[in-house]
């Protein structure tokens, strides 16, 4: 009997040890994670839907729709943009529409330039609207506090959604994007690399005609644009400003201008109805600023540029951080005495990549099928994925061909 009790006790200790080990290594079933959702509607745009709901999300929480850029996935935007940090902190849900293209469109670009996808009630625009409706109903979210943001093609598609479904969104943020209906009629290359001139009223009429007869409130708009963006030239940021100030009935002259971290200038229009963030020296990508500070977020990566945390500013603009929505940035401390230190010499940045990759990252630009380095205008050959060069950054926004100069 004593031997039996000893054996049983030994077995119980072993079982408890295994259970404890599993508790340490296996994530609880209810832990928040990015999750794919199917069956959210007829989905004529053939999009994927991914959702992130923080643990203990209250009923009636807000929703932010975040749309990735070309060559990206929903997980890329979830991982690097910084929005997850503020969803956890401020208790709102995130959904990520995702474009996974066929062989005809291999870059995962939302079809902001295709007539069949940019009108209310059809294509990708309807798919995104169905994603919003499914999320608000299924997860018991506040349909009056739905916001949308996106980068590049996702930014252009954000403009599409704000124009075609103004009844769904309280505010939006367009990052390195383009005005609604720049293309068509103009070509995508004209819109991206040259920009298109229209009067504010002409731009505004395109938005008003997207939902004829709509008389409800229009969403407030934030616009972000790197001033060295060679993929979607900065002129598009100005035309977006003209489009949405006209739609919201405010002057194209800013009422205030602020200097922010990360070489960023913020212009406000009307009663903060439209914001235009201009980031000096920045190329094409979502602005992030890695770190643990209140106003720091994201991960620097391809098309995620270390300058300023745009998710933090947008969350405040949307009012997700509490009453007033005014961000409290990490204070800058000015020392009373200047210490004598040995200056640190920062080596030049060298990047080897294809001509296509250089242009999409904002280190070069394409003109007439050829590629040129930003700043120096050094010729790099044909604009494609097969021709590669090493570029060296010698000043902010200034790159030179350095195939034989960098290790």
List 17, 81, 127, 152, catalytic entry: 152
Q: Tell me, yes or no, if 152 is annotated catalytic.
A: yes
Q: Distance between CA atoms of 393 and 353, rounded to whole angstroms?
A: 14
Q: Is 263 exposed, middle or buried (0-12, 13-18, 19+ CB in 10 A)?
A: middle
Q: How many Cβ atoms sit within 10 Å of the Cβ of residue 185? A: 9
Residue 194 CB partners (closer than 8 Å, separation 6+): 233, 235
* Under 8 Å between Cβ of 280 and 308: no
Sheet containing strand 171-175, edge to edge, reads 35-37, 48-52, 93-98, 63-67, 146-151, 171-175, 220-226, 274-279, 264-269, 256-260
What's the Rg (C-alpha) of the chain? 24
Q: Is 143 exposed, middle or buried (0-12, 13-18, 19+ CB in 10 A)?
A: middle
- If residue 4 lies in a helix (H) or strand (E), which one and from where to where? helix 2-25
* Under 8 Å between Cβ of 198 and 242: yes
- If residue 151 lies in a helix (H) or strand (E), which one and from where to where? strand 146-151
How far, in Å, are 70, 77, 110, 111 from residue 105 at the CA level?
Answer: 10, 20, 10, 9
Enumerate the active-site residues. Answer: 152
């Amino acid at each position: 009997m004593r031997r039996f009790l000893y054996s049983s006790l030994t077995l119980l200790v072993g079982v408890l040890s295994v259970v404890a080990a599993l508790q340490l290594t296996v994530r609880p079933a209810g832990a928040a994670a990015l999750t794919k959702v199917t069956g959210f509607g007829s989905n004529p745009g053939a999009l994927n839907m991914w959702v992130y709901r923080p643990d203990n999300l209250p009923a009636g929480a807000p929703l932010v729709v975040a749309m990735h850029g070309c060559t990206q996935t929903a997980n890329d935007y979830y991982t690097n943009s910084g929005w997850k940090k503020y969803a956890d902190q401020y208790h709102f849900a995130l959904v990520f529409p995702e474009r996974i293209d066929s062989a005809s469109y291999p870059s995962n670009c939302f079809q902001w330039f295709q007539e069949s996808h940019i009108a209310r009630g059809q294509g990708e625009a309807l798919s995104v609207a169905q994603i919003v409706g499914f999320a608000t109903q299924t997860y018991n979210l506040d349909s009056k506090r739905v916001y949308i943001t996106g980068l590049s093609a996702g930014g252009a598609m954000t403009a599409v959604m704000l124009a075609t479904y103004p009844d769904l969104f309280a505010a939006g943020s367009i990052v390195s994007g383009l005005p609604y209906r720049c293309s068509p009629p103009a070509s995508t290359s004209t819109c991206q690399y040259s920009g298109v001139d229209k009067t504010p009223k002409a731009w505004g009429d395109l938005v008003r005609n997207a939902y004829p007869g709509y008389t409800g409130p229009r969403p407030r708009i934030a616009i972000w644009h790197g001033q060295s963006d060679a993929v979607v030239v900065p002129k598009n940021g100005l035309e977006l400003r003209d489009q949405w100030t006209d739609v919201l009935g405010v002057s194209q002259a800013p009422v205030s201008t602020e200097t922010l971290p990360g070489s960023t200038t913020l212009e406000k229009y009307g009663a903060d109805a439209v914001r235009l963030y201009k980031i000096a020296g920045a190329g094409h990508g979502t602005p992030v600023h890695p770190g643990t500070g209140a106003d720091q977020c994201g991960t620097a990566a391809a098309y995620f540029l270390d300058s300023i945390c745009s998710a933090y500013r947008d969350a405040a603009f949307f009012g997700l951080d509490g009453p007033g929505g005014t961000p409290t940035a990490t204070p800058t401390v000015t020392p009373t005495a200047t210490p004598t230190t040995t200056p640190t010499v920062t080596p030049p940045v060298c990047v080897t990549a294809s001509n296509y990759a250089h242009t999409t990252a904002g280190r070069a630009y394409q003109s007439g099928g050829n590629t040129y380095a930003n700043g120096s205008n050094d010729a790099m050959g044909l604009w494609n994925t097969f021709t590669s060069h090493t570029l060296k950054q010698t000043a902010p926004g200034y790159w030179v061909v350095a195939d034989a100069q960098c290790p």
